[in-house]
Chain A
Amino acid sequence: MIKMKYREAVRAGLREALKSDPRVFLMGEDVGRYGGTYACSHGLLEEFGPERVRDTPLSESTFVGAGIGAALGGMRPIVEVMTVNFSLLALDQIVNNAATIRHMSGGQFSVPLIVRMATGAGRQVAAQHSHSLEGWYAHIPGIKVVPPATPADAKGMLLSALREPDPVFIFEHAMLYPMEGEIEDNAGPVDISTAAVRRPGTDVTLITFGGSLWKALEAADQLAASGIEAEVIDLRVLRPLDTPTILASVGKTHRAVVVDEAWRTGSFAAEISARIMEGAFYDLDAPVARVCSAEVPIPYPKHLEDAALPQAASIVKTVQEMLHG
């Protein structure tokens, strides 16, 4: 095992992808000369040249569309979109083309496209750069949606995505890039179909993913000090969602709190709540609770931004209210 930052793990995954498959190329805003907005592709232009590490104009619709075309033509494009907020410009390409072409061509064509983008708040970059819209993407059939929460998943999910015949959307929480974690020396592809229990517990299940995983784990540590053992589930894959892991845990703990940095209304947290209601109603000992972001554009000032987001403290408070009435 070695220590590696999340962004280094992404970079290691990109390098391995470029080395191992000549069809792979990177494309996006500032991925080349600048080395990537979050420095994920730093040094790759020098190593692999401008044919395979391509800076694009500021037009998400154009370069995501180009990625779809390249994938249809037999390439393995890895497209970086700077933030999920900007990806909305490419929604037509994603929803109407990437996700539908296999279906609409009767299986004659597939789109083996990887789109990576940063998501989430916490860096004081204000409302147009801070939202968590991965739940919107998880609504769409025809694509896979993964939000890696650890360096090992950041690298491994990218490599696994290369083996998928259909589009895979990777959501990297921007607060995770500088985070350091343990990873195998030669870490390779990982399973991208199941959730993981990151901390076993008996009293309540915290269900979360991506950047919120670490807040949930911190909350679980605090709860343990007061004698409450929380089980923490990292969903790892939002579509297709691993429901059995959720239901098995709720069957054991009888309580569930969903932690999701998106807004509560119409959120992915709502989807998880509904699945629990459908599959584990008779196991529940308390209503499912959600810890989500305040329903406001994510604020710029630090104290307001902190107040708007799920935090370990708000997770702890929610669990305590659930257990002690």
Chain B
Amino acid sequence: MAEFVMPSLGADMEAGTLVAWLKKPGEAVKKGDIIAEVETDKGIIEIESFMTGLLEKTLVEPMTKVPVGTALAIIREEGKPSAEPKSALPVSGAPPQPAVAPVSPTPPAPVTEPGRLRVSPSAKQLAAELGVDLILVKGTGPGGGISRADVEAAAAQARGERRGARIASAAGSAADRLLRMRQAIAAAMARSKREIPHYYVSTTIDMGKALSWLTEENLKRPMKDRLLYGVLLLKAVALALREVPELNALWKGNQVVRSDAIHVGVAISLRSGGLVAPALHDTDRQSLDDLMRNFRDLVTRARAGGLRSSELSDPTITVTSLGEQGVESVYAVIYPPQVAIVGFGKVVERPWVVDKQVVPRSVLTATLSADHRVSDGHRGGLFLAAVDRLLQEPERL
């Protein structure tokens, strides 16, 4: 038996609205099945089951907004039985006192540093779990401290307010959505620049071989299956990460956790404004054709609003390409908790020195922004060199 919880679909997500259940209690679910739709600041996301079993019961009604981590349903593993979730008197040094003391002496009031919140350890943890900002909570516990009950009350009130706000903008106008997405991006990017010591390294890559190989390859394919050079970049990044694995990681708590799987997130701008960066799962293991097909599907779904939860929660690094907009170099901001992002500019014709001859070549600038807590410029440089090398042998990608 396990709780199916509101997933975190990014560091900036605090809560989500359960829009609909796509499975009913009593129905069998397989790992990867889409069992619910959740509305987040990034639009409607399809949430997948992380296990195979029976959807025992749902705990949250549709159109309810709940904090990340809230149990939404109970999934029972196959073959497992059903179960419910479940005065101080003056101490030495003081002048002698008459031998009569208050019945219930109270300890001296502790001194609290100005500006420091009085909050019980347990309430503090609960606030973190429920996403409650303690600054806004009124303490009614001993000595005016914030207790668990105070945090629970604040969370309940916040839920009520959010629901009220939701109902008020029931139609959820496009402007509202854009505003909320902007706020989510603001939170994530501000946190990134506040917490992550970025360093940047960049290199210019000769794309000549890659592009001519691509032209040849595309001649063999029907129009709809033709490859874009962007997938070569994605695959090269994924393979280069195998060589410099510290960039394929997440910063959790106060330490880095490397990921065995390489899920490259692809920044996709939305027509209505804003952007998302869903993952292409196991990017390093996909063929170029699969990558192309999956990338197209991802872009379509991102723009139509049909991304899956794992696509938003799984990226281990992000790639952003602004070549179409004519940008030559991209110094991107890392999306926490990731520790690196790769920016690609447009392919431009440049005079290039080959064997002491100046020749025209198609080149592209690749920039790595990386978290200096996790990696150093030396490793970042090796990564870019690997990307460059891999792109010189496009037939092996």
Contacts and interface: CB of A to CB of B under 8 A. Distances in A.
Interface of A: 254, 264-265, 281-287, 289, 291, 294-297, 299, 304, 307-308, 311, 313-314, 317-318, 321-322, 324-325
Given A294-B105, A322-B142, A286 B120 contact: yes
Interface string B294-326: 000000000000000000000000000000000
A258 to B, nearest CB: 13
Interface string B72-96: 0000000000000000110100000
A286 B101 contact: no
A286 B142 contact: yes
Given A254-B148, A265-B91, A294-B89, A283 B101 contact: no
Contact of B104 (A304, A317, A324): A317
A285 B101 contact: no
A265 B107 CA distance: 12
Given A291-B104, A294-B105, A317-B104, A285 B99 contact: no
Nearest to B147: A285
Given A264-B88, A282-B125, A325-B144, A299 B99 contact: yes
Contact of B101 (A281, A294, A311): A294
A119 B131 CA distance: 51
Contacts of A307: 100-101, 103
Given A286-B145, A325-B144, A296 B99 contact: yes
A325 B120 contact: no
A76 B106 CA distance: 46
A295 B145 contact: no
Given A295-B89, A297-B99, A282 B121 contact: yes
B273 interface: no
B141 interface: yes
B268 interface: no
A34 B269 CA distance: 96
A284 B88 contact: no
A285 B88 contact: no
A325 B100 contact: no
20 contacts: A254-B148, A264-B88, A264-B89, A282-B121, A283-B121, A283-B122, A285-B120, A286-B120, A286-B142, A286-B145, A289-B107, A294-B101, A294-B102, A294-B105, A295-B89, A296-B99, A307-B103, A318-B104, A325-B141, A325-B143
B121 A281 contact: yes
A93 to B, nearest CB: 29
Interface of B: 88-89, 91, 99-107, 110, 120-123, 125, 140-145, 147-149
B142 A325 contact: yes
B141 A285 contact: yes
B147 A314 contact: no
B123 A285 contact: yes
Given A265-B91, A311-B103, 8 more contacts: A254-B122, A264-B105, A285-B120, A285-B147, A294-B101, A294-B103, A297-B99, A325-B141
A265 B121 CA distance: 25
B89 A286 contact: no
Sort A-B residue pairs by CB-CB distance and give the 3 closest, nearest first. A294-B101, A296-B99, A285-B120
A297 B97 CA distance: 12
Nearest to B98: A296
B219 to A, nearest CB: 64
Contact of B142 (A281, A299, A311, A321): A321
Contacts of A285: 120-123, 141, 147-149
Contacts of B89: 264-265, 294-295
Contacts of A296: 99-101
Contact of B141 (A286, A291, A317, A318): A286
A20 B108 CA distance: 54
A307 B121 CA distance: 34
A313 B104 CA distance: 9
Contact of A304 (B100, B107, B110): B100
Nearest to A254: B122
Contacts of B99: 296-297, 299, 304
A281 B88 CA distance: 22
B287 to A, nearest CB: 49
A321 B102 CA distance: 15
Residue from the set A285, A287, A299, A314 with the largest chain B CB neighbour count within 10 Å: A285
Contacts of B144: 325
A308 B101 contact: yes
A25 B125 CA distance: 57
